[in-house]
Amino acid sequence: MTADDPRTVRLADYQPYSHLLDRVELTFHLHPTATRVQARLHLAPNPAARAGQDLRLDGEDLRLISCAIDGQAVAAAVDATGLTLAAAHLPQAAFVLETEVEIAPEGNFALEGLYMSNGMYCTQCEAQGFRKITYYPDRPDVMARFRVRIESDLPVLLSNGNPVGQGAGWAEWDDPWPKPSYLFALVAGDLRAHPGQFTTMEGRDVGLNIWVRPGDEGRCAWGMTALKASMAWDERVYGRAYDLDIFNIVAVDDFNMGAMENKGLNIFNSKAVLASSDTATDDDFARVEAIIAHEYFHNWTGNRITCRDWFQLCLKEGLTVFRDQQFSGDLRSHAVKRIEDVLMLRARQFREDGGPLAHAVRPDSFVEINNFYTATVYEKGAEVIGMLKRLVGDADYARALDLYFDRHDGQAATIEDWLRVFEDTTGRDLSQFKRWYTEAGTPVVSVTEDWADGVYTLTLAQTNPATPGQAVKGAKVIPVAVGLLNPNGDEVVPTTVLELTEAKQSFEFKGLASRPVASILRGFSAPVILERTVPASERAFLLAHDTDSFNRWEAGRALAKDVLARMIVDGAAPSADLLDGLARVAFDDALEPAFRALALRLPGEDDMAATLYAAGHVPDPAAIYRARRALHLALAHHLAAGLPGLELACRVPGSFSPDAKAAGLRALRLVALGFLARLDGGAQARAAYRAADNMTESFGSLAILLDIGEGRAELADFAAKWQGDRLVLDKWFAVQVGTATPERVADVVRDLTQRADFDWKNPNRFRAVIGALSGNHAGFHHASGESYALLADWLIKLDAKNPQTASRMSTAFESWPRYDVDRQAMMRGALQRIMATPGLSRDLSEMVGRMLA
């Protein structure tokens, strides 16, 4: 896919580093425009590498002041990407390389390396940001012990590891655990701590802190609760304890991603850690909990065992996502969590896997590694581990993980190492399974059934579609969890895992009294597309009776998609099967409220566009928009009699608690209010907005009002109340764009971006407006092409300051092949205009190039 680009880095070219690096001493003299960084690297020739090599250090945007070996100045050849010391100057035994450089954190808007956010110094080094701090072998297989001295007048000075000394204007930190440079972190600022304490199962007393800007202290309690829960969970479930005396988390307003697992000093986007009932929704609370857990879990899966090279990124990310999903399921509801995860997987990963940006979970080439922090590496990477666990069973999974930690602790490992622990534990040959890591694309599994003489035969066939650079691929190992129900709804064959390993295979079930109804791919046991024509009555039957909660939800979802597709393509009316089936779920008090809320959420517009495209249609965004709203209205009428009672029953008594049960009730109440608004012009939603004592309900009812074209007064009220609050104001921006009609959305975005508080260099604010534009399907794809052009303009503008965020947001265009020729031409035109921009970043040019290929 990146075959012709001279900047391409390839897995096949991996070589060990020429030298071993044992210890690093860094001294920072912080200054906004002239920070000095002194580095002492304790190096020795690497016996495992080819002898006699030059010493090459990575470095970008650094001003070299001095360079010496064992105290003697030495001539270094400096170029745009690093520094070289000729082999002739290098000692044959251990030596110390000292450098001093100057950098300017204040002008760093890329938010990579050392930068400033609201007067605070902070760092982001993954994947290759450390080279913007000092000359260094900036690669994950070079692991060293770091000692850091920070000199600054700012009151709080933090780095990795344990504090070893501090005085007026300085602090020193020592990290006893060898680590790659991408896990380095430094923070300096006027910060306040929300403290906590945890005693590990090994008896270590750990001091915990969440550091925030003055004024945010009241939004830390939830994050601290989540951190302690994560520490306890990793001990209980994986037997992994924390390994330093202190664990610090810092909230930063300007951050490209969610958070970063730097050793002992996690740095978070403030959106991913701050939460209070008045400012955060239930979804925010759940996300904070999951991200805190994710970053904490990295301490073992990522930090103690890291990646040999960036092609192995899924080794730490897939596993850590899998672990955070398990954690959230344990703390909340496995059924609901699985549905949410699959919704996300389909919306982002299937979309990626089916378009021009498709790549393997372990890619074998890249131009800019930041472009591979994707749903495929993260979420599909987690799915692959879920399949492995299902195939080997829980007990062997646990044994394999113990072996993984024993064998690879302190190492930089590969996917081959990971698979070998499973092979050694179970005796299984995983060479075919490995295709999940090396081959891109979502397999399609088609199903045919046969019933004769009391034998039910299920035939499964898989096809693996071509993806960029991978025309032909082999059959995958696909675990298909199946259960059979008899016609009165009793389960006659409980969940069984069928292993599909060939292109086509049949599985027989004998001794059945009557033809069963099959529930296939229970729990979404593999990240595949199930292709099957099922009569509406059978879907309705499973929606009513399936004992597997995921497939019960899935049956309703599939039914809704079938109905919507017919409404869009043939102008059909919504079917009674769907309306009655959803009504039963809506009012079934035996079901979890959160599950009911999910079942009543209609398939999204982008999802419908993908579904129609897969079925051979050219999706019309305007028709999808109209049909989805028509179905919502039809459902509102159908449910009308029960809605007031449902809305009342879902009011949570007492003071606010963010727990999953209360959150589920609020979610279902908002679904009811959304339907009611279609019938009463928003009267009840308006009342709910006024009465709300928490952000979930005030923001939720505001969104409902805007969605029906009401709510101007509430919008103004919300703005007045929250004008000083960056995170809440992001919601205010986003909801206006998200709910704008297709005709109006470009104007809404233009108005919002002209406001003084549209700080486009802040990634959260940029995403709130420009990200919401591409999230508004019918608006983004409006036939005028205005939104395409608007997005292109903003990507070009942002790229000059922040390539990473610009590049990530360019994926809005990845779905261009789905649409009609006019839209395709406009989207490609927008991409070509971006491509023609002088000085385009490596990040954005790689992405745009792949989309245009």
Interface residues toward ligand ARG, by CB under 6 A: 124, 126-127, 256-257, 259-261, 294-295, 317, 370, 373, 804
Instruction: Give 288 or 477: the residue with its C-beta nearer to ligand ARG.
Output: 288
Question: Which of helix, strand or coil describes residue 500?
Answer: strand
Give least dist CB 324 to Zn ion, A.
Answer: 8
Give least dist CB 432 to ligand ARG, A.
Answer: 29
Instruction: Give 781 or 850: the residue with its C-beta nearer to ligand ARG.
Output: 850
If contact means CB under 5 to 8 A according to the sort of partner, which of ligand ARG, Zn ion, none does residue 600 touch? none
Element (H, E) at 556: helix 549-570
Give least dist CB 291 to ligand ARG, A.
Answer: 8
Q: Where are the beta strands (DSSP E) in 288-403?
A: 306-307, 365-366
If contact means CB under 5 to 8 A according to the sort of partner, which of Zn ion, ligand ARG, none does residue 419 touch? none
Instruction: Give 294 or 767: the residue with its C-beta nearer to ligand ARG.
Output: 294
Alpha helices in 712-852 (DSSP H): 712-722, 726-739, 745-753, 763-766, 772-775, 777-780, 786-799, 803-809, 821-835, 842-852
Closest CA to 443 of 498, 500, 496, 386: 500
If contact means CB under 5 to 8 A according to the sort of partner, which of ligand ARG, Zn ion, none does residue 328 touch? none
Instruction: Give 307 or 792: the residue with its C-beta nearer to ligand ARG.
Output: 307
| Active-site hit among 25, 98, 289, 295 | 295
Angle at the Cα of 638 from the Cα atoms of 575 and 337, rounded to 5 degrees: 80
Give least dist CB 378 to Zn ion, A.
Answer: 7
The helix-helix angle for 712-722 and 695-707 (nearest 10°) equals 140
- Six-digit token string for 572: 């059909």
Cα separation of 333 and 591, whole Å? 12
Cα separation of 498 and 481, whole Å? 6
Residue 237 near residue 324, CB atoms below 8 Å: no
Give least dist CB 294 to Zn ion, A.
Answer: 6
Cα separation of 226 and 104, whole Å? 36
Instruction: Give 127 or 226: the residue with its C-beta nearer to ligand ARG.
Output: 127
If contact means CB under 5 to 8 A according to the sort of partner, which of ligand ARG, Zn ion, none does residue 256 touch? ligand ARG
Instruction: Give 281 or 320: the residue with its C-beta nearer to Zn ion.
Output: 320
Question: Which of helix, strand or coil describes residue 311?
Answer: helix
If contact means CB under 5 to 8 A according to the sort of partner, which of Zn ion, ligand ARG, none does residue 804 touch? ligand ARG
Amino acid identity of residue 820, one-letter, is D
Instruction: Give 127 or 475: the residue with its C-beta nearer to ligand ARG.
Output: 127
Alpha helices in 161-312 (DSSP H): 221-238, 282-297
If contact means CB under 5 to 8 A according to the sort of partner, which of Zn ion, ligand ARG, none does residue 126 touch? ligand ARG
Give least dist CB 525 to ligand ARG, A.
Answer: 25
Respond yes or no: is residue 289 known to be catalytic. Answer: no
Instruction: Give 321 or 624: the residue with its C-beta nearer to ligand ARG.
Output: 321
Instruction: Give 414 or 519: the residue with its C-beta nearer to Zn ion.
Output: 414
Distances (CA, A) of 319 to 43, 422, 488: 32, 14, 40
- With contacts defined by CB under 5 A, name the span among 97-105, 318-326, 515-523, 524-532 that binds Zn ion: 318-326
Residue 526 near residue 499, CB atoms below 8 Å: no
If contact means CB under 5 to 8 A according to the sort of partner, which of Zn ion, ligand ARG, none does residue 260 touch? ligand ARG
Give least dist CB 787 to ligand ARG, A.
Answer: 27
Angle at the Cα of 316 from the Cα atoms of 313 and 317, rounded to 5 degrees: 75
Residue 520 near residue 480, CB atoms below 8 Å: yes
Residues belonging to the chain: 853
Give least dist CB 317 to Zn ion, A.
Answer: 5
- With contacts defined by CB under 5 A, name the span among 127-135, 319-327, 414-422, 511-519 that binds Zn ion: 319-327
Residue 351 near residue 815, CB atoms below 8 Å: yes
Straight-line distance from the first to the last Cα atom of the chain, in angstroms, rounded to the nearest whole number: 8
| Residue that the structure tokens 């390994």 belong to | 243
Q: Which residues pair with 149 in a beta bridge?
A: 27, 172
CB neighbours (10 Å) of residue 406?
9
If contact means CB under 5 to 8 A according to the sort of partner, which of ligand ARG, Zn ion, none does residue 160 touch? none
Give least dist CB 267 to ligand ARG, A.
Answer: 10
Cα separation of 96 and 69, whole Å? 6
- Could you tell me if residue 248 is left (phi over 0), alpha (psi between -120 and 50 degrees) or otherwise beta? beta
If contact means CB under 5 to 8 A according to the sort of partner, which of ligand ARG, Zn ion, none does residue 776 touch? none
Which residues form the interface with Zn ion (CB under 5 A)?
Answer: 317, 320
Catalytic residues: 295
